[in-house]
Amino acid sequence: MKAVVHVSLKSGVLDPQGKAVADTLARMGYSEVGSARVGKVIELDLTGAPDKSAAEARVKEMCEKLLANTVIESYRIELV
C-alpha cells in the first residue's frame, strides 16, 4: 500500500517561498497568477499494514510526530 501525504502551510501563515514563485511568474509574463502557496508531497511505501484504517492511523501518527509541523502546517493523507 502507498500513502501520499500533502503538507501545506495553514492559511494566514506567511509563505515567502510562495511569494517568490508568484512574483517571478508575474515578471515572466504570467500576470494571471495572483498568489502562490508552496507545499510538499511525501510518498510512503507501506508494508505489513493490516488494513486501510490501521494504515491511515499509522500515517496520521507519522504526520503528527514528524512529517508536518501542525502548528503552522496542515496535511492530507491519500492511501492508494
- DSSP labels, 18-66: HHHHHHHHHHTT-TT-------EEEEEE--S--SHHHHHHHHHHHIIII
- pLDDT per residue as tens digits for the range 14-39: 999 999 999 999 999 999 999 999 99
Q: How many domains does the chain have?
A: 1
Domain that holds residue 11: 2-79
Q: Which residues pair with 4 in a beta bridge?
A: 43, 78
- Residue entry with cell 504570467: 30
**What integer best gives the mean pLDDT of the chain?**
96
Q: Is the pLDDT of residue 49 over 70?
A: no
- pLDDT for res 50: 73
pLDDT given for residue 58 in this prediction: 95
What does the alpha-carbon distance between residue 31 and residue 39 come to, in Å, rounded to a whole number? 22
